[in-house]
Amino acid sequence: MNKVPVMAASDIFPAYQNTPIGRLLEYHNLKQTHTKYSAPEILIGMCMDHRKSLNIPPNFAYIIRTGGGNLRYNEFKVSYAIGVGNVGAIALIAHNNCGMVNLMSKKTDFVSGLVTKAGWNPAEAEEHFLNFAPMFEIDNELTFVVSEAKRLRFRYPRIQVAPLYYKVEDNLLYQIEEE
């Protein structure tokens, strides 16, 4: 899978041009002048990571932020954005250096943080980690976001779903060439 930069409008994949996905790329990467929106056009699923911020106009998007951008346990919210909010597109945004990659290696820090900062009992903190980490751990940002896009396309066949990649170092969105 290749990450494809968007440095000009002509770089946007043809399938995304003149769609909410294309407008997202234009607003964020190309600093396109913001249009006024009275209702959202797109649902953006992205990681809760604090290092990412999107340059988009008010009312343009519903945004669900969750560890790794994993929408598996937020499907009712996705359905609401489509069914009630009338969005016609979903952008799934993965990013580099995601904390959900190799989550199991963070068990000690997770448990000790809950014990020292939140006052948890060590056994309860460990049980909490072991119960939930497998649901949220991802192997690789790119393969996860592409597989999640495929899953959502199957679930919502009339909705355009685009896997995108956010590079923390340059604050830009990249398109992903799927295999």
Q: For residue 53, what are the domain limits?
A: 2-99+139-177
119 and 164 share one domain? no
d(CA 171, CA 122): 37
pLDDT in the model for residue 120: 98
Residues 6 or more apart in contact with residue 104 via CB below 8 angstroms: 133, 137
pLDDT in the model for residue 73: 87
pTM of the entire structure? 0.93
In Å, what is the CA distance from 100 to each residue of 20, 63, 69, 70, 123?
A: 27, 19, 9, 10, 22
27 and 47 share one domain? yes
d(CA 24, CA 70): 20
Give the model confidence (pLDDT) of 96-106 as tens digits.
888 889 899 99
Quote the crossing angle between the two packed helices 107-118 and 122-136, to the nearest 10°.
130
49 and 71 share one domain? yes
Task: Please tell me the total number of residues recorded for the chain in this structure.
Answer: 179
Give the model confidence (pLDDT) of 110-159 as tens digits.
999 999 999 999 999 999 999 999 988 888 999 999 999 999 999 999 99
Q: How many CB atoms lie within 10 A of CB 61?
A: 25
d(CA 44, CA 161): 10
CATH assignment at residue 173: 3.40.1050.10
